[in-house]
Structure 1
Protein backbone atom coordinates (compact mmCIF):
# COMPACT_ATOMS: atom_id res chain seq x y z
CA UNK A 1 0.00 0.00 0.00
CA UNK A 2 2.11 2.84 -1.25
CA UNK A 3 -0.86 5.14 -1.70
CA UNK A 4 0.75 8.12 0.01
CA UNK A 5 3.57 8.37 -2.52
CA UNK A 6 1.70 7.07 -5.55
CA UNK A 7 -1.27 9.43 -5.28
CA UNK A 8 0.21 12.39 -3.41
CA UNK A 9 -1.76 15.14 -5.23
CA UNK A 10 -5.03 13.25 -4.75
CA UNK A 11 -4.25 12.60 -1.09
CA UNK A 12 -3.34 16.25 -0.53
CA UNK A 13 -6.58 17.44 -2.15
CA UNK A 14 -8.69 14.96 -0.13
CA UNK A 15 -6.89 16.00 3.05
CA UNK A 16 -7.71 19.62 2.21
CA UNK A 17 -11.43 18.87 2.01
CA UNK A 18 -12.02 18.27 -1.71
CA UNK A 19 -15.01 15.85 -1.78
CA UNK A 20 -14.24 14.58 -5.31
CA UNK A 21 -10.64 13.84 -4.36
CA UNK A 22 -11.83 12.05 -1.22
CA UNK A 23 -14.25 9.95 -3.24
CA UNK A 24 -11.50 9.04 -5.70
CA UNK A 25 -9.05 8.26 -2.87
CA UNK A 26 -11.58 5.94 -1.23
CA UNK A 27 -12.21 4.23 -4.56
CA UNK A 28 -8.46 3.71 -5.11
CA UNK A 29 -7.90 2.54 -1.51
CA UNK A 30 -10.77 0.03 -1.44
CA UNK A 31 -9.01 -2.88 -3.27
CA UNK A 32 -5.94 -2.63 -1.00
CA UNK A 33 -8.12 -2.44 2.11
CA UNK A 34 -10.16 -5.41 0.94
CA UNK A 35 -7.07 -7.49 0.14
CA UNK A 36 -5.62 -6.76 3.56
CA UNK A 37 -8.93 -7.50 5.31
CA UNK A 38 -9.26 -10.83 3.45
CA UNK A 39 -5.92 -11.87 4.91
CA UNK A 40 -6.52 -10.65 8.45
CA UNK A 41 -10.26 -10.78 9.18
CA UNK A 42 -12.69 -13.58 9.66
CA UNK A 43 -14.26 -14.21 6.28
CA UNK A 44 -17.64 -12.99 7.51
CA UNK A 45 -16.13 -9.69 8.67
CA UNK A 46 -14.27 -8.64 5.52
CA UNK A 47 -17.03 -6.49 4.01
CA UNK A 48 -17.82 -4.82 7.33
CA UNK A 49 -14.14 -4.11 8.05
CA UNK A 50 -13.64 -2.56 4.60
CA UNK A 51 -16.76 -0.42 4.94
CA UNK A 52 -15.86 0.76 8.43
CA UNK A 53 -12.25 1.55 7.48
CA UNK A 54 -13.43 3.62 4.50
CA UNK A 55 -15.92 5.44 6.70
CA UNK A 56 -13.21 6.26 9.24
CA UNK A 57 -10.91 7.51 6.47
CA UNK A 58 -13.64 9.76 5.11
CA UNK A 59 -14.34 11.23 8.55
CA UNK A 60 -10.84 11.49 9.97
CA UNK A 61 -8.54 12.12 7.01
CA UNK A 62 -8.44 15.89 7.69
CA UNK A 63 -7.02 15.20 11.16
CA UNK A 64 -4.10 13.14 9.80
CA UNK A 65 -1.04 15.28 10.51
CA UNK A 66 1.55 13.60 8.29
CA UNK A 67 0.23 12.59 4.88
CA UNK A 68 3.20 10.30 4.29
CA UNK A 69 1.81 8.16 7.13
CA UNK A 70 -1.46 7.55 5.26
CA UNK A 71 -0.67 3.97 4.17
CA UNK A 72 0.41 2.89 7.64
CA UNK A 73 -2.60 4.59 9.19
CA UNK A 74 -4.90 2.81 6.74
CA UNK A 75 -3.39 -0.59 7.60
CA UNK A 76 -3.81 0.10 11.33
CA UNK A 77 -7.45 1.06 10.75
CA UNK A 78 -8.15 -2.21 8.99
CA UNK A 79 -6.23 -4.22 11.62
CA UNK A 80 -8.22 -2.56 14.39
CA UNK A 81 -11.52 -3.20 12.61
CA UNK A 82 -10.65 -6.86 11.95
CA UNK A 83 -9.81 -7.38 15.63
CA UNK A 84 -12.91 -5.49 16.81
CA UNK A 85 -15.26 -7.36 14.50
CA UNK A 86 -13.60 -10.69 15.31
CA UNK A 87 -14.14 -10.10 19.02
CA UNK A 88 -17.79 -9.22 18.38
CA UNK A 89 -18.37 -12.21 16.11
CA UNK A 90 -16.78 -14.65 18.51
CA UNK A 91 -17.89 -12.79 21.62
CA UNK A 92 -14.24 -12.89 22.49
CA UNK A 93 -13.24 -11.43 25.78
CA UNK A 94 -9.52 -10.58 25.66
CA UNK A 95 -9.31 -11.15 29.40
CA UNK A 96 -10.40 -14.77 28.92
CA UNK A 97 -7.38 -15.56 26.74
CA UNK A 98 -5.72 -17.59 29.50
CA UNK A 99 -8.87 -19.68 29.92
CA UNK A 100 -8.99 -20.32 26.17
CA UNK A 101 -5.30 -21.29 26.12
CA UNK A 102 -5.89 -23.79 28.93
CA UNK A 103 -8.85 -25.23 27.03
CA UNK A 104 -6.72 -25.66 23.89
CA UNK A 105 -3.70 -27.11 25.72
CA UNK A 106 -5.62 -30.10 27.07
CA UNK A 107 -6.87 -31.10 23.61
CA UNK A 108 -4.88 -32.74 20.86
CA UNK A 109 -5.59 -32.15 17.18
CA UNK A 110 -7.73 -35.27 16.84
CA UNK A 111 -9.72 -34.31 19.94
CA UNK A 112 -10.28 -30.79 18.62
CA UNK A 113 -11.52 -32.17 15.30
CA UNK A 114 -13.92 -34.53 17.06
CA UNK A 115 -15.27 -31.72 19.20
CA UNK A 116 -15.69 -29.46 16.19
CA UNK A 117 -17.55 -32.17 14.28
CA UNK A 118 -19.77 -32.78 17.32
CA UNK A 119 -20.44 -29.04 17.64
CA UNK A 120 -21.39 -28.81 13.96
CA UNK A 121 -23.57 -31.92 14.17
CA UNK A 122 -25.40 -30.42 17.12
CA UNK A 123 -26.50 -27.38 15.10
CA UNK A 124 -30.00 -27.22 13.64
CA UNK A 125 -29.91 -27.85 9.87
CA UNK A 126 -30.84 -24.28 8.90
CA UNK A 127 -27.91 -22.89 10.93
CA UNK A 128 -25.47 -25.54 9.77
CA UNK A 129 -26.30 -24.85 6.12
CA UNK A 130 -25.38 -21.15 6.23
CA UNK A 131 -22.28 -21.82 8.33
CA UNK A 132 -20.96 -24.42 5.88
CA UNK A 133 -21.77 -22.25 2.86
CA UNK A 134 -19.91 -19.31 4.41
CA UNK A 135 -16.94 -20.97 6.09
CA UNK A 136 -16.35 -24.06 3.93
CA UNK A 137 -17.49 -22.91 0.49
CA UNK A 138 -16.47 -19.30 1.27
CA UNK A 139 -19.60 -17.84 -0.33
CA UNK A 140 -20.48 -14.21 0.33
CA UNK A 141 -23.59 -13.29 2.29
CA UNK A 142 -25.25 -12.28 -0.99
CA UNK A 143 -24.37 -15.60 -2.64
CA UNK A 144 -25.75 -17.54 0.33
CA UNK A 145 -28.95 -15.48 0.22
CA UNK A 146 -29.36 -16.21 -3.49
CA UNK A 147 -28.69 -19.92 -3.05
CA UNK A 148 -30.98 -20.37 -0.04
CA UNK A 149 -33.70 -17.87 -0.94
CA UNK A 150 -33.17 -16.04 2.35
CA UNK A 151 -32.76 -12.31 2.81
CA UNK A 152 -29.31 -10.89 3.50
CA UNK A 153 -30.21 -9.94 7.11
CA UNK A 154 -31.64 -13.42 7.68
CA UNK A 155 -28.44 -15.06 6.41
CA UNK A 156 -26.32 -12.84 8.68
CA UNK A 157 -28.57 -13.61 11.64
CA UNK A 158 -28.43 -17.36 11.07
CA UNK A 159 -24.66 -17.26 10.59
CA UNK A 160 -24.21 -15.30 13.80
CA UNK A 161 -26.47 -17.67 15.74
CA UNK A 162 -24.75 -20.75 14.27
CA UNK A 163 -21.35 -19.51 15.37
CA UNK A 164 -22.63 -18.57 18.81
CA UNK A 165 -24.14 -22.04 19.28
CA UNK A 166 -20.97 -23.78 18.05
CA UNK A 167 -18.84 -21.62 20.36
CA UNK A 168 -21.16 -22.33 23.28
CA UNK A 169 -20.95 -26.04 22.55
CA UNK A 170 -17.15 -26.00 22.31
CA UNK A 171 -16.22 -23.63 25.10
CA UNK A 172 -19.18 -24.01 27.39
CA UNK A 173 -19.50 -27.74 27.08
CA UNK A 174 -23.23 -27.30 26.60
CA UNK A 175 -25.23 -28.91 23.85
CA UNK A 176 -26.26 -26.47 21.14
CA UNK A 177 -29.98 -26.29 20.69
CA UNK A 178 -32.60 -23.89 19.48
Structure 2
Protein backbone atom coordinates (compact mmCIF):
# COMPACT_ATOMS: atom_id res chain seq x y z
CA UNK A 1 0.00 0.00 0.00
CA UNK A 2 1.01 3.58 -0.45
CA UNK A 3 1.30 4.56 3.22
CA UNK A 4 -0.32 7.89 2.45
CA UNK A 5 -2.58 8.69 5.34
CA UNK A 6 -5.62 10.90 4.91
CA UNK A 7 -7.26 12.72 7.80
CA UNK A 8 -11.02 12.69 7.29
CA UNK A 9 -13.32 14.84 9.41
CA UNK A 10 -16.74 13.30 9.96
CA UNK A 11 -19.73 15.27 11.28
CA UNK A 12 -22.55 13.35 12.94
CA UNK A 13 -25.05 13.34 15.80
CA UNK A 14 -23.56 11.79 18.92
CA UNK A 15 -25.27 10.69 22.15
CA UNK A 16 -23.33 11.76 25.24
CA UNK A 17 -23.18 10.15 28.72
CA UNK A 18 -26.31 11.97 29.92
CA UNK A 19 -28.37 10.74 26.97
CA UNK A 20 -28.44 14.10 25.22
CA UNK A 21 -27.58 14.39 21.57
CA UNK A 22 -25.20 16.87 20.02
CA UNK A 23 -23.64 17.31 16.62
CA UNK A 24 -19.89 16.70 16.64
CA UNK A 25 -17.06 16.61 14.12
CA UNK A 26 -14.28 14.10 14.71
CA UNK A 27 -11.10 13.30 12.73
CA UNK A 28 -10.23 9.77 11.56
CA UNK A 29 -7.26 8.45 9.58
CA UNK A 30 -7.48 6.15 6.56
CA UNK A 31 -4.74 4.63 4.44
CA UNK A 32 -5.56 5.23 0.77
CA UNK A 33 -4.09 5.90 -2.66
CA UNK A 34 -6.13 9.03 -3.42
CA UNK A 35 -8.65 11.47 -2.01
CA UNK A 36 -11.40 9.58 -3.82
CA UNK A 37 -10.39 6.27 -2.26
CA UNK A 38 -10.06 7.96 1.14
CA UNK A 39 -13.62 9.27 0.85
CA UNK A 40 -14.91 5.86 -0.19
CA UNK A 41 -13.08 4.08 2.62
CA UNK A 42 -14.17 6.50 5.37
CA UNK A 43 -17.78 6.21 4.17
CA UNK A 44 -17.53 2.42 4.36
CA UNK A 45 -15.82 2.41 7.78
CA UNK A 46 -18.17 4.96 9.36
CA UNK A 47 -21.30 3.23 8.03
CA UNK A 48 -20.37 0.28 10.25
CA UNK A 49 -20.22 2.49 13.38
CA UNK A 50 -22.81 5.20 12.83
CA UNK A 51 -26.40 4.19 12.17
CA UNK A 52 -27.64 7.73 11.49
CA UNK A 53 -26.63 10.22 8.82
CA UNK A 54 -23.08 11.53 8.76
CA UNK A 55 -21.19 13.95 6.57
CA UNK A 56 -17.53 14.10 5.56
CA UNK A 57 -16.58 17.74 5.99
CA UNK A 58 -12.86 17.63 5.12
CA UNK A 59 -10.19 15.30 3.75
CA UNK A 60 -6.51 16.20 3.78
CA UNK A 61 -3.18 14.40 3.59
CA UNK A 62 -1.93 13.76 7.12
CA UNK A 63 1.69 14.54 7.94
CA UNK A 64 2.60 11.24 9.63
CA UNK A 65 5.69 9.28 8.64
CA UNK A 66 4.56 6.24 10.63
CA UNK A 67 1.54 4.95 12.56
CA UNK A 68 2.15 2.66 15.56
CA UNK A 69 -0.75 0.98 17.36
CA UNK A 70 -0.10 -0.59 20.77
CA UNK A 71 -2.23 -3.11 22.65
CA UNK A 72 -4.27 -1.99 25.64
CA UNK A 73 -4.10 1.67 24.60
CA UNK A 74 -7.09 3.79 23.73
CA UNK A 75 -5.81 7.22 22.63
CA UNK A 76 -3.55 8.48 19.83
CA UNK A 77 -0.57 10.77 20.40
CA UNK A 78 1.51 12.78 17.95
CA UNK A 79 5.24 12.35 18.56
CA UNK A 80 7.67 14.76 16.96
CA UNK A 81 11.02 13.04 16.35
CA UNK A 82 14.05 15.07 15.25
CA UNK A 83 16.62 12.99 13.43
CA UNK A 84 20.11 14.46 13.85
CA UNK A 85 22.58 14.18 10.98
CA UNK A 86 26.07 15.63 10.64
CA UNK A 87 26.72 17.41 7.35
CA UNK A 88 30.41 16.79 6.58
CA UNK A 89 30.62 19.50 3.90
CA UNK A 90 29.41 22.36 6.09
CA UNK A 91 30.49 20.81 9.39
CA UNK A 92 27.12 21.49 10.96
CA UNK A 93 24.45 19.37 12.57
CA UNK A 94 21.21 19.13 10.64
CA UNK A 95 17.86 18.14 12.11
CA UNK A 96 15.03 16.60 10.13
CA UNK A 97 11.66 16.40 11.82
CA UNK A 98 9.15 13.61 11.33
CA UNK A 99 5.85 12.96 13.02
CA UNK A 100 4.56 9.62 14.27
CA UNK A 101 1.12 8.71 15.49
CA UNK A 102 1.54 6.47 18.54
CA UNK A 103 -1.17 4.74 20.53
CA UNK A 104 -0.95 5.00 24.32
CA UNK A 105 -2.98 5.74 27.46
CA UNK A 106 -1.14 8.92 28.49
CA UNK A 107 1.68 11.23 27.38
CA UNK A 108 4.34 9.40 29.38
CA UNK A 109 3.39 6.04 27.85
CA UNK A 110 3.35 7.66 24.38
CA UNK A 111 6.89 8.95 25.00
CA UNK A 112 8.01 5.48 26.16
CA UNK A 113 6.34 3.85 23.13
CA UNK A 114 8.14 6.31 20.84
CA UNK A 115 11.47 5.35 22.47
CA UNK A 116 10.58 1.66 21.90
CA UNK A 117 9.85 2.34 18.22
CA UNK A 118 13.12 4.22 17.75
CA UNK A 119 15.32 1.60 19.50
CA UNK A 120 16.64 0.12 16.23
CA UNK A 121 17.55 3.52 14.78
CA UNK A 122 21.20 3.83 13.87
CA UNK A 123 21.40 7.64 13.98
CA UNK A 124 20.92 10.13 16.77
CA UNK A 125 17.49 11.55 17.45
CA UNK A 126 15.58 13.59 19.99
CA UNK A 127 11.89 13.65 20.87
CA UNK A 128 11.10 17.35 21.38
CA UNK A 129 7.32 16.97 21.65
CA UNK A 130 4.57 14.47 22.41
CA UNK A 131 0.98 15.67 22.45
CA UNK A 132 -2.44 14.08 22.44
CA UNK A 133 -4.00 13.93 19.00
CA UNK A 134 -7.65 14.54 18.20
CA UNK A 135 -7.64 11.42 15.96
CA UNK A 136 -10.44 9.13 17.11
CA UNK A 137 -9.48 5.99 15.16
CA UNK A 138 -7.14 4.75 12.44
CA UNK A 139 -8.26 2.55 9.54
CA UNK A 140 -5.24 1.00 7.78
CA UNK A 141 -5.64 -0.74 4.45
CA UNK A 142 -6.03 -4.46 5.10
CA UNK A 143 -6.84 -7.07 2.51
CA UNK A 144 -7.85 -9.61 5.16
CA UNK A 145 -5.87 -12.58 3.87
CA UNK A 146 -2.25 -13.12 4.94
CA UNK A 147 -1.78 -15.83 2.31
CA UNK A 148 -2.68 -13.24 -0.31
CA UNK A 149 0.13 -10.99 0.96
CA UNK A 150 2.66 -13.82 0.79
CA UNK A 151 1.60 -14.58 -2.79
CA UNK A 152 1.93 -10.92 -3.73
CA UNK A 153 5.42 -10.75 -2.18
CA UNK A 154 6.46 -13.86 -4.09
CA UNK A 155 5.05 -12.36 -7.26
CA UNK A 156 6.97 -9.11 -6.76
CA UNK A 157 10.18 -11.01 -6.01
CA UNK A 158 9.70 -13.15 -9.12
CA UNK A 159 8.98 -10.09 -11.23
CA UNK A 160 12.08 -8.28 -9.91
CA UNK A 161 14.42 -11.24 -10.38
CA UNK A 162 13.21 -12.30 -13.84
CA UNK A 163 11.92 -9.29 -15.76
CA UNK A 164 12.24 -11.05 -19.15
CA UNK A 165 10.33 -14.21 -18.19
CA UNK A 166 6.83 -12.99 -19.03
CA UNK A 167 5.17 -16.47 -19.25
CA UNK A 168 6.17 -17.29 -15.66
CA UNK A 169 4.84 -13.97 -14.39
CA UNK A 170 1.58 -14.39 -16.28
CA UNK A 171 1.16 -17.92 -14.87
CA UNK A 172 1.77 -16.55 -11.37
CA UNK A 173 -0.71 -13.70 -11.94
CA UNK A 174 -3.35 -16.23 -12.99
CA UNK A 175 -2.62 -18.22 -9.81
CA UNK A 176 -3.12 -15.08 -7.68
CA UNK A 177 -6.35 -14.20 -9.52
CA UNK A 178 -7.70 -17.72 -8.92
CA UNK A 179 -6.76 -17.52 -5.23
CA UNK A 180 -8.55 -14.17 -4.91
CA UNK A 181 -11.67 -15.61 -6.57
CA UNK A 182 -11.67 -18.51 -4.09
CA UNK A 183 -11.30 -16.05 -1.19
CA UNK A 184 -14.23 -13.98 -2.43
CA UNK A 185 -16.44 -17.02 -3.05
Normalising by structure 1, we get a TM-score of 0.22
Larger radius of gyration: 2
User: Of Structure 1 and Structure 2, which has the larger fraction of its residues in strand?
Assistant: 2
User: Of Structure 1 and Structure 2, which has the larger fraction of its residues in helix?
Assistant: 1
Normalising by structure 2, we get a TM-score of 0.22
